Every structure is written in structure tokens, then in C-alpha cells.
Structure 1
Amino acid sequence: MNSSRKDWSEKLDDALWAYRTAYKTPIGRSPYSLIYGKACHLPLELEYRARWAIKYLNMELSTAQEKREMDLHELEEIRLDAYESSRIYKERTKAFHDKRITPKDFKEGDDVLLYNSRLKLFPGKLKCRWSEPFKVKEVLPYGAITLVNNNGAEFTVNGHRLKKYMGSQSIEEGSSIRLHDPPQA
């Protein structure tokens, strides 16, 4: 495009052509070959292949009809294969994603920290993205959690924005923790 980006509509056809003819990993072929059942050829190649096809089939209608039926059956097999490849790709992606998720189970009375998503816009150099500890009042279905702040105000948030607060756990009196020693079992 030019620097003013006003000629995008002229470039749209070329961009769509490039997208439709590019190989896509999830389906194992290009969208063009998925629709038409064959690789994409430039107009000059098509003209040459059309002449070759007419000469090869010698204009026999029955032979051309049988060839077309075979091509349609092959195209259906290609589409089924692409559907299966896409399904396998999605399953692998989902398994990879699910493997990295850590389960969060909150109970009533737990202390939690709330992730402050607004801090992304104007981050301070050393500001913490987790705000003060809140108490879990109620665990609702589908991951929603009702919290209570220190003033007694209640609000509901998505459980993905929370993490357990470990600062409220007390240390037994008379015991000391030395940071350079390994923990006692």
C-alpha cells in the first residue's frame, strides 16, 4: 500500500488470493484445494491445461463425465481428510492449553488477592498488580466468586483474576525460620 493507506481496496483481491492459496497446517492443505480439489494454477497454466484436457479426452462426453464423477468423489475424501486433520489439530492445541492450567479451588473464608487489570494501561515501575487481600464470601457456579473487602462491601469477580493469599498464615510461637536452612519435614 502507499503511505496514506487509501489503496487498500485495490490490494484486497491480491491479499485474499494469497490467503486462499497458502498452505494451512490445521487442515493440511490450502483452502483453494479444499474447495476445488486440486492445486491452484495461474491463468496461463489453466489455459494450457484446458487445451491439454480437451486433446487428451478427445471430446468424448462419457469419458469426461466419468472423470468428473471420480474427481467429485476424490474431493469429498479430501474434505473429510481435512476435517479430520483440523479435529486432531484442535485436540492437540486444547491438550497443550489444558496442561498449562493450574486448578484454582477457593472455599468460603479464604483470603485471596485480586488481579488489577487496569494497571496494564499505566503501569508503575514497581507497582504490584495484585490488590489487597479479600475474603471469599461465596463460590458461585461457573467460576464466579463473591468477595468481601475490609469495609464489608461485596462484589463478584471471575475466579481467574484471583489467587490465594498466603500472608495470613501465622507461624507457630516459639519457632523460627532461617532462610538459608532447608525446611524441616
Structure 2
Amino acid sequence: MNAYDSASIYKARSKQYHDARIEKREFKEGEKVLLYNSRLKLFPGKLKSRWSGQFDVVRVFPHGAIEIRGEDYGPFKVNGHRLKHYYMGDSLGSFAIIDLKDPP
């Protein structure tokens, strides 16, 4: 009975730890997103990215589905868990120059 109790306590604590680290993603219309490609699990490759495209969010449904549109694709619905935000950062060509001086 002690083993059962300690196992249920361990399970509850690990669930609490996991749930505390889940990132809530909220998408708005017009945002750029990346789509997770689950088919690459069947054909694994070390250097293949599992995130594809740059899609625009067309419509957000209340039950978690999101309608997206790509440049080559018409609008289609996907599960919101398969998307992540696409952040457009600085281009690779812009670098800051720092002058380093020799110590005295």
C-alpha cells in the first residue's frame, strides 16, 4: 500500500511539474507561424528541420483549430498545437563591430 501511495504522489508531482512548464500559445489573425511536419518522424534526418514554411494566420477558431494560408497553398485548418510563432529577426549581414584592446 505504501508503494501505491508513493507512486501516486510521484505521478501527481511530475504532472504538476510538467503542467507548470507548458507554454500557452495564442495566435492572432495576420501573424506569421511555422507548421510542425510530423511526417519527418518516419524518415529521420539529423539536419532536416521539422518546421516548415512561413504561413499567415487567417482565422482562429475557439476550439483550438487555426486556419492558415501559405504562399503556395490555399487556406487550410490545422491543430493549434502544431504551430509556433515565426519571429523575423535581423538579417545575418548586420553585425556589431567591437574594438578589443590589449590589456596593459
Band the TM-score falls in, shorter-chain normalisation: 0.7 to 0.9
State the 1:91 CA deviation.
Answer: 3.9
Other-structure match for 1:78? none
Structure with the largest fraction of strand: 2
**How many residues are paired up?**
96
Q: Which has the larger radius of gyration?
A: 1
What CA distance in whole angstroms lies between the structure 1 residues aligned with 2:97 and 2:29?
32
Unmatched 5+ stretches in structure 1: 1-22, 30-84, 181-185
Instruction: Quickly say closer, same or farther: Cα 1:145–1:125, change in 2 above 3 A.
Output: same
Aligned pair partner of 2:85 in 134, 139, 164: 164
Return the alpha-carbon distance in structure 2 between the equivalents of residues 90 and 125 of structure 1: 33
RMSD (CA atoms): 2.9
Q: 1:109 to 1:170 in 2, by over 3 A?
A: farther
Residue 14 of structure 2 is aligned to residue 28 of structure 1? no
| Partner Cα separation in structure 2 for residue 155 and residue 24 of structure 1 | 51
Counterpart residue number, 1:101: 22
TM-score (norm 1): 0.44
Unaligned 5+ segments in structure 2 are 99-104
| Structure with greater helix share of residues | 1
What fraction of aligned residue pairs are identical, expressed as a percent?
52
Structure 1 residue aligned with 2:96: 178
- Offset, 1:152: 5.0
Shift of 1:159: 1.1
Q: CA deviation at 1:126?
A: 1.6
**Aligned to 1:144, which of 44, 56, 65?**
65
